[in-house]
Each structure stands twice: as C-alpha cells, then as structure tokens.
Structure 1
C-alpha cells in the first residue's frame, strides 16, 4: 500500500458556490449562511485501489480583487476543479477567458 499526496484547487468566478460545495462535502450539509472566503484549505484521507490518498482541498476566491493572490495556490496542483453557476452566463463564459 502506498501513500499518495494529491492537491485539488477549486476555481471559478465569485458566488458560484465553491466554498459551499466544499463545506457540504466536508460537513455533510449545506451552510445556512453565506461564507465569503479568500482562501481556505482542508485535508481528507481515503483509500482507493489499496492506496491511501491524502487529498488537500484548496478553496480560492473568485473575486477580481484577488487575481494576483489566487495563483499562489496553484503550484504542485494535481487537479483543478473549475466551477460555474448555471444561472450566470458570465461565470460560464469566464471558464475559457479567465480560468
């Protein structure tokens, strides 16, 4: 059995639900209040095909105010998860123009 570190960074426009998605995954329920985060990270460990996966989940702020800060979370990333809102065409368009 091998221990495998893996880093997942969630990106996307502001207010598309990045933090809420991670909160729901980690705590098992949707947050009752809006929680604006600039940056947050949590770790989970699970077994896959006999290997122990140490998964770091990195939340980023989609606001343009943090365009220069956000890339600091990118080095050594294994997986980028790009989110958009189904009720915001702009957030979908920014997938190809920004993210």
Structure 2
C-alpha cells in the first residue's frame, strides 16, 4: 500500500513464544543497537524507512507478546475485561489472550515466526502453535522462520542448562528443515 508520498508501506508482524528475542531482533534492526536488558512487551511498533532497488519502503514492524509472558497476559486480559465489561475469571486468561493477539494481524504483508535456538520448546511451538494460528487468522499471508539467540548456541552456561534438561540447541539443519516444511517461502 502506498501513502501520499509515494512510499510503499509494508506491515511485518513478529510472533513467537515469550522471551525468544523478538523485541531484541526488532530493536536491533530499527535502532541499529542491541538492547541490554529484557523488557517484555505487549504490543510495540517500529517504523523503518528502507530503500530496495531504488524504491522507498516504510516497513512497519509489529512486536507481539509471546505465549509465556504471564504478566503481559494479565495486562492484556485486564484490557479485554475493561473493553468488554466482563467479569474476571482466571481460567479464561490464556484463551482470551490468544483471542486478543490476532487483533494485530489484519493488513499484514508478512509474518516472522521466531524461536530461540536454545529453547527447544519454542522451536516445537512453531509447528504446534504459531503456524496453525497464522493459517487460521491469515492464511494467505507469507511467513518466514527466524532462529534467534544464536549467540547463545555455544555459551557454556546455556549448554550446561540444556544438558541438565537432556536437551541440545537447535541445529542450523533442523531450522532449515522446519522452514522448508512449514514456511510459504524460504
């Protein structure tokens, strides 16, 4: 979609489990600097102007909260209750949170599904949670698979924690294989 200046606007929404590095990925790209501390987000937005092949694009980057950010879920759920004037029911928290997240999906041009290479559960959730969600709410929108936290793949403390759980970092080949299986283009 073009705005009045002739700049083409693109919307990119980033999804994935909580604490896999979605916000760091976007902040690093948008601000050209790596954030030093982790601050969970509910929804955040960055706008970056890029020139590709002589065409100017305004890339809207939308950061969504991951599934495991429980305090973020409470904020979203409280907002939901305020809007709907509903009564609080803790058993509905995850279900209602899952209903709120797709509100950021309309008019998206591309999704980035993120997982941490040092969090095997986040890798498994790509297939079990994120791809099905995008197929349900945005079936015609392409998505890419992004492995984050690659710098921790060889970190001794991270390796030790994974070994304690009898797990290993996700290998590059595993990520490439999953991308070929689930992504709309690689």
Instruction: Indicate whether the TM-score tops 0.5.
Output: yes
State the structure with bigger RCO (CA 8 A, min sep 6), 1 or 2.
1
CA distance in 2, matches of 1:67, 1:48: 35
Pairing of 1:1-99 with structure 2 (within 5 A): 2-63=6-67, 65=73, 66-99=97-130
Unaligned runs of 5+ in 2: 1-5, 74-96, 131-186
Unaligned runs of 5+ in 1: none
CA distance in 1, matches of 2:52, 2:32: 21
Once structures 1 and 2 are overlaid, which stretch shifts more, 17-26 or 57-66? 57-66
Q: Which runs of 4+ in 1 moved over 6 A?
A: none
Partner of 1:58, secondary structure, is: strand
The number of equivalent residue pairs is 98
TM superposition score normalised by structure 1: 0.90
Partner of 1:7, secondary structure, is: strand
Give the alignment's Cα RMSD to 1 decimal.
1.3
Bigger Rg, which one? 2
Q: How many angstroms does 1:40 deviate by? A: 0.2
Whichever structure has more helix as a proportion of its residues is 2
Whichever structure has more strand as a proportion of its residues is 1
